[in-house]
Amino acid sequence: MMDAYSLTCTPDELARHLGATVDATLAQPRAKCELAQGLPAVMNETSDEVQLLRWGLIPSWAIPSQQYNLTLAKAETLLEKEAYKVPFKRRRCLVPATGFYIKKRTHHGTACYYYTAASGEPFAMAGVWDKWRTQNNDDVISFSIIVCRANLKVKTSADYMPVILPVDAYPQWLSNELTPDLALLQSLLSPVLDSYLNCTLETPEAVAERLKLPLTYQPALQE
């Protein structure tokens, strides 16, 4: 499944796409967004601004001795998994991206598939977030990206792909209602059409070199 994604657009492009305020110092373009980094996202509680959230959800009820890095949440089990039940109902987010990476082992080694929107535009993946308090009483806000069964184009490399929401569904996903329409929300968790995506064999390092961008966000957010 997806293990990293890119966000190569400018802060201004990101703000226009999301219709939210973006602090340029927090959303500089990067070729690789990965686990445990502080990454741009829009939460339903503050849907008018982009904030940094840690990728790798830590449930609010987690105890310090346990290690949680829940990066991907399967759409079909959101209401079954304890870590996702409440976040799906109350704490949803948009995770902006310009592409995502899937690695697959082949007879010739490991291939890296890079999927981007055919339009060249940024997009937003569906996510859920939670807030965990450390032993030092610091709050860590973290998120998981929701994945669904892959469309035919992505299925050549993986069984699952991130849920890419249509722009007109952003307000519904970011609804802050106490009793949201869960059936409506679940209906949004489907794969995009094959024609929506382009696919190339390209590593994050190659993307960084081609676009003359830094590779990753640094430093990672610490627990």
Domain ranges of the chain: 2-211
Token pair 């991907």 is found at 72
Tell me the CA distances in angstroms from 146 to 6, 62, 92, one per residue in order. 16, 20, 10
Beta strands in 107-194 (DSSP E): 109-117, 123-133, 139-149, 160-162, 164-165
Q: What is the pTM of this model?
A: 0.94
Strands 99-106 and 92-97: unpaired
pLDDT at residue 25, rounded to an integer: 83
Rounded distance between C-alpha atoms, residue 131 and residue 147, angstroms: 21
pLDDT at residue 179, rounded to an integer: 87
pLDDT at residue 220, rounded to an integer: 44
Arch. (CATH architecture) of 2-211: Alpha-Beta Complex (3.90)
What's the pLDDT tens digit per position in 163-179? Answer: 999 999 999 999 998 88
Task: Provide the 3-class DSSP secondary structure of residue 189.
Answer: coil
Q: What is the mean pLDDT of each run of 10 residues along the chain (223 residues)?
A: 95 96 89 93 96 95 81 96 96 98 89 97 98 89 98 97 98 92 96 98 95 76 42
Task: Provide the 3-class DSSP secondary structure of residue 112.
Answer: strand
pLDDT at residue 64, rounded to an integer: 76
pLDDT at residue 222, rounded to an integer: 41
Under 8 Å between Cβ of 56 and 70: yes
